[in-house]
Structure 1
């Protein structure tokens, strides 16, 4: 039996900070998504009307990446500045007030045979910690839960992006299937 992809959670600790990736739609900050869409890093997207944004999220599988804020700041005395950090309590996706969204990846999918990966975004100050790579690994786990997956695809830059997704997800350039497949596109809004 397939896992319910709308309720998957993954946790990770990096440099004594806890992180959560979750497919739970109720955790996704609409303000964060709008800010991501307004970012120069997501040149393909633009902020949306709130009603349209809600529909977009309801009709996608969105993996949110969250920094888990400590419940109580660790106590440190002046005499022992190097004392170990108090372990964080278990990460609970239901404790949304302790979550600060810092990234996302979105799948446009029928949840059975096909998925389009888009809107992969990580706040710049959290880059370089392998968190983006981890989100993409979580995306791969979601792909593996589709019962009759035929094809997953994405649109990315031909240099760094293509290398990254080839390495992390096993994607290849559609031109390698030029005798069997053509990739066509049409743009509906002008890119600035």
Structure 2
């Protein structure tokens, strides 16, 4: 499938893996609340096995989102950010609209995410608290990214 791209003013959202700036992605993720200190190698490995959406202003990467998916029945949205200097312009909403319009993410049975502080953003796109939390289980290893072996 060719890269999915959307443009709006000076900005573009693209799934072209050749455009991903791993220096920029790693710089943000390593200071995020969900993966502080994550290695660049682990960021690149996660991206290689996911559907990644870069948010760009010209050639500069200013945002990112990663979707772990089979592109048929299930997707998990993670690692979503827009750099602070580019916030307040509706870019996170536009990036979410772009993600939800991707052809490989249509007709999914389940699309999940976890967030500490962006419930309002995601609720606007149909995400809601778990309807049946008793059906889901998880293994949580908060600092696993700090112990992941290099490959």
Q: Under TM normalisation by the shorter chain, which class is it?
A: 0.7 to 0.9
Counterpart in the other structure of 2:86: 126
Residue in structure 2 matching 1:7, options 3, 7, 23: 3
1:38-117 alignment runs, 5 A limit:
38-39=30-31, 42-68=32-58, 99-117=59-77
| Pairwise CA distance, 1:10 | 0.3
For the aligned residue pairs, the C-alpha RMSD in angstroms reads 2.2
1:164 aligns with 2:121: yes
Counterpart in the other structure of 1:145: 104
Report how many residues are paired. 145
Counterpart in the other structure of 1:186: 140
Change (3 A) 1:183 1:138: farther
Give the TM-score of the pair, scaled to structure 1: 0.68
Change (3 A) 1:25 1:190: closer
Change (3 A) 1:148 1:134: closer
Aligned-partner Cα distance in 2 for 1:165–1:183:
22
Aligned-partner Cα distance in 2 for 1:164–1:54:
27
Aligned-partner Cα distance in 2 for 1:38–1:48:
5
Max Rg structure? 1
Change (3 A) 1:124 1:189: same
> What SS does the aligned partner of 1:171 have?
coil
Counterpart in the other structure of 2:149: none
Counterpart in the other structure of 2:22: 30
- In structure 1, list runs of 5 or more residues that go unmatched: 69-98
| Pairwise CA distance, 1:185 | 3.9
Contact 1:34 1:47 in 2 (8 A): no
| Pairwise CA distance, 1:112 | 1.8
After the TM superposition, which parts of structure 1 deviate over 6 Å for at least 4 consecutive aligned residues? none
